[in-house]
Homo-oligomer: A and B are copies of this chain.
């Protein structure tokens, strides 16, 4: 196998005292934390698009790095990317990866030519998976980059565009199944609107739900037994996206009877753009029975766009891992690094340093979340806080036998109720103590 990153060694765990940049300080794949290996708890995945395609372009400037991997035509580029991707996964010890159809093969002149390109690269990927023991976490279709989708795909006002999207999804589900993917993602990048002046929201949502229903039916028909995911995002590129946040998406899934087959893929940066914390969105997904997978990255709360930074804030990774542990861990999902190196981090080694930064931040987050759970203080505090509802009257509320009258009669018989301190400052100080030792 040709070497795409000859200067980069296999990254090993050296512990927190090491000053070797190309080593893990906190991620020790085989170490057992909270009952499973770190590898299993964290299920890291490489994102094909940011890692192998994105080259540093932003709205005010062009590429800063080179992602051609020495290749020439479309076919050789596709193979080079695959080779580079598997080398990177091997060197970082990452077991999973995720892709859009257009990441693994660029689009051809016609649908048929594009399908041919996919049919050429998919066996290559299958063989690489087999050879290196890697797996596809999830696949998806890119329904937002091409100009045909500028008004949406499933929500396009044009039937031809909609049908094209259906064809593209069909193929993307097929290759996901072929590669053994356990998830299939819908991120509605252009499913939203720029202005209500030209938008029939009801019609667009009906169309989108029909497309998702057909996708579900087709996937099940061809043997896909994994999870469909919707990935909420409030805005960008569109002024308003329909899958604004977890709760909005759940309302849509309930309204069109899609919940169950569809779960959520929660992204940290999308959570904060919607006005929520990452852990809030994970909690909303979990309590609605829709916790699926995670796009691990981090935004900048002083900026109003999707920065897709590699996650390094250990408060965020700790609180996120706490939610994930409490939700029982991943089933079909995992932690996909939907993250890109900063534009000026343009050396090949920056990609590795960035993955190390993100993997170590989540590994540390896992260690700290496990410490918190094993300490038990926060859990016990929470339990005590709601203990008054364990009474007979409390149970009558949950079993549906209580009424306003029964509760009012109780209230009238009691002295003025007193609310307990929430002790937020003490809890935050305790969290610091548990985190910093």
Contact = CB atoms under 8 A, between A and B. Distances in A.
Contacts of A145: 60-62
A132 interface: no
A420 interface: yes
A344 interface: yes
Interface string A97-113: 00000000000001110
Interface string A371-400: 000000010011001101101011001101
Interface stretch (A36-44, A74-82, A88-96, A158-166): A158-166
Contacts of A12: none
Contacts of A418: 148, 158, 160
A419 B207 CA distance: 16
A116 interface: no
B25 A427 contact: no
B389 A159 contact: yes
A263 interface: no
A186 interface: no
Nearest to A412: B111
Given A276-B302, A313-B315, 10 more contacts: A61-B149, A62-B147, A158-B420, A159-B394, A160-B414, A163-B417, A195-B422, A248-B251, A251-B251, A357-B426
A375 to B, nearest CB: 9
Interface string A181-211: 0000000011000111111111101110011
A319 interface: yes
A394 B402 CA distance: 50
Contact of A345 (B25, B196, B353, B423): B423
Interface stretch (A223-231, A328-336, A403-411): A403-411
Contact of A280 (B58, B196, B252, B378): B196
Given A161-B417, A274-B275, A388-B159, A147 B63 contact: yes
Nearest to A417: B160
Interface in A41-69: 56, 58-64
A424 B61 contact: no
Given A210-B398, A254-B251, A21 B426 contact: yes
Nearest to A298: B428
Contact of A237 (B60, B169, B194): B60
5 contacts: A151-B422, A171-B408, A194-B344, A195-B422, A235-B302
